Amino acid sequence: MNSESNSPAAQPSADPSNPSAGAGPASQGRHIATISSDSRFWDVFVEFDDDPSRVGSFGARLCFSPSDADDASEAVRTTTILIEPSYEEVLYRARAFEVHQLVGLLRSCLPD
């Protein structure tokens, strides 16, 4: 994965074959919110990692997809920011983000 970024929360990737990193296809994850930023609405999804080295815990990232996009090419993702002992706890933590926190995470993923 390409880890060079202006923001530690973002992982841009030009590799379209890896939809779970950086900008890429719309999410197949769990929808948790819709937020507004810079005159656009963004759907927020939780995407779980498939990391066999992480035994006894679940990791997930957030995917932000513009609601008005014709295709999914504008979706952006954080790096793995949620690590909890259960699937349910990851969802609970993700849903606990307040709108201003989600907007901040979205802005950290967008190009300058």
The number of domains in the chain is 1
In a domain, 25, yes or no: no
Residue 74: C-alpha distances to residues 43, 65, 68, 71 (Å): 12, 7, 10, 8
Range of the domain at 52: 30-109
- Cβ atoms of 58 and 90 within 8 Å: the answer is yes
N- to C-terminal Cα distance for the chain? 20
Q: The whole model's pTM is what?
A: 0.74
The predicted structure's pLDDT at residue 20: 42
Tokens of 86: 């259960």
Share of the chain above pLDDT 90, in %: 58
In a domain, 82, yes or no: yes
The predicted structure's pLDDT at residue 33: 96
The predicted structure's pLDDT at residue 54: 84
pLDDT tens-digit map of 54-99: 889 999 999 999 988 777 778 999 999 999 999 999 999 999 999 9
In a domain, 17, yes or no: no
Q: Report which of 28, 36, 40, 44 is spatially closest to residue 81, judged by C-alpha positions.
A: 44
